[in-house]
Amino acid sequence: MILGRPRHVKRMKKELLDIGTWNVNTMLKAGKMQEIVDQIVGSQIQIVALQEIRWGGYGLLKKDKYSIYYSCNPNTTGQAGTGFMIQKSAMNKILGFEPISDCICKLRVKGKFYNMTLINIYAPTEDKEDEIKEQFYEELQRTQDRVSKHDVIIIMGDMNAKLGKEKVFSQEIGRHTLHNISNENGEMVANYAISNGIFLISTNFQHKKIHTGTWTSPKHQTINQTDHVMVSKEKMRLIHDVRSKRGYNCDSDHFLAQIKIKQKLITVNNRQTQKYKWDRKLLNQKEKINKYKKKYNQSCKK
């Protein structure tokens, strides 16, 4: 006798929201954006945080099957750039987008139980000066501080950070991180997590190496886990899984990281009830009062 899958498992699948984070290296090359679109549109992933878009300025690119909010350098192209690709089915669940810089932007979405603010980041690489790194984390802190306290905050993106298994960070980094020793960027991420009571949830799930690593060297000899997801320790249970997906390919040295969230998005109601406001000053003008009485009496006779 073959038994079917338990009902609660089927129900959980329906209630899971799939989002992702992906460093695509660039979207300036001819045909590159279409490559990414072909991978995402029609998949189960509704929202993808993109890094290294390398466009210029900020705004919204709206197409039939998807939309892209982007936040890039306003003065030049070819540098950094972050954004969100959103499938058409999820566009009416968006509450707002805010471009912060070419390395940080945020998207607010309406959830069934909690609204969520997704903060997309592209952190400085390991070889950047400490001053640049400090400025980045100060900007990230200001961005997080401006988010509503009632929102679930998920910070994700390319953090250029290797997270190790040091005991000092055991409350912020999970047991299943790919690396044994944190690099300098990893220590900065861990310290940021300590200061804000958040957890590197991308290191909390046990997977094979191919589903843990998010970056590969040109000859595929080295694999690192440098793209991460952070969430408040109070909301850790909302994250059902994080893993890299090698099936998605856009000629990037990074793999897409898929995040499964125990949350369902709901449609934003944009209809606003028209409110009428009485002008109290007119009540003191005899001419206006007499004119109103005359019109009212005429309508009554009809």
Among candidate residues 5, 69, 17, the one with its CA nearest the CA of residue 44: 17
Write the CATH number for 121. 3.60.10.10
User: Is residue 257 in some structural domain?
Assistant: yes
Can you give the residue range of the structural domain that contains 144?
Answer: 7-262
**According to the model, what pLDDT value does residue 15 have?**
77
User: Is residue 299 in some structural domain?
Assistant: no
The pairing of beta strand 47-51 with beta strand 16-23:
parallel
User: Is residue 282 in some structural domain?
Assistant: no
Which residues have C-beta within 8 Å of that of residue 229, sequence separation ≥ 6? 21, 154, 155, 156, 200, 201, 202, 239, 242, 257, 259
Tens-digit pLDDT string for the chain (302 aa) = 344 444 444 444 567 999 999 999 999 999 999 999 999 999 999 999 999 999 999 999 999 999 999 999 999 999 999 999 999 999 999 999 999 999 999 999 999 989 999 999 999 999 999 999 999 999 999 999 999 999 999 999 999 999 999 999 999 999 999 999 999 999 999 999 999 999 999 999 999 999 999 999 988 889 999 999 999 999 999 999 999 999 999 999 999 999 999 999 999 986 544 444 555 555 566 776 677 667 667 666 55
**According to the model, what pLDDT value does residue 4 have?**
44
> How many domains does one find in the chain?
1
Q: Are 29 and 2 in contact (CB under 8 A)?
A: no
User: Is residue 302 in some structural domain?
Assistant: no
User: Is residue 54 in some structural domain?
Assistant: yes
User: Is residue 296 in some structural domain?
Assistant: no
**According to the model, what pLDDT value does residue 14 have?**
60
Which residues have C-beta within 8 Å of that of residue 299, sequence separation ≥ 6? none
User: Is residue 283 in some structural domain?
Assistant: no
Which residues have C-beta within 8 Å of that of residue 236, sequence separation ≥ 6? 199, 201, 204
User: Is residue 281 in some structural domain?
Assistant: no
**According to the model, what pLDDT value does residue 13 have?**
56
Q: Please state, in angstroms and rounded to a whole number, the distance separating the CA atoms of residues 47 and 60.
A: 14
**According to the model, what pLDDT value does residue 272 have?**
45
**According to the model, what pLDDT value does residue 5 have?**
41
The pairing of beta strand 256-262 with beta strand 94-99:
unpaired
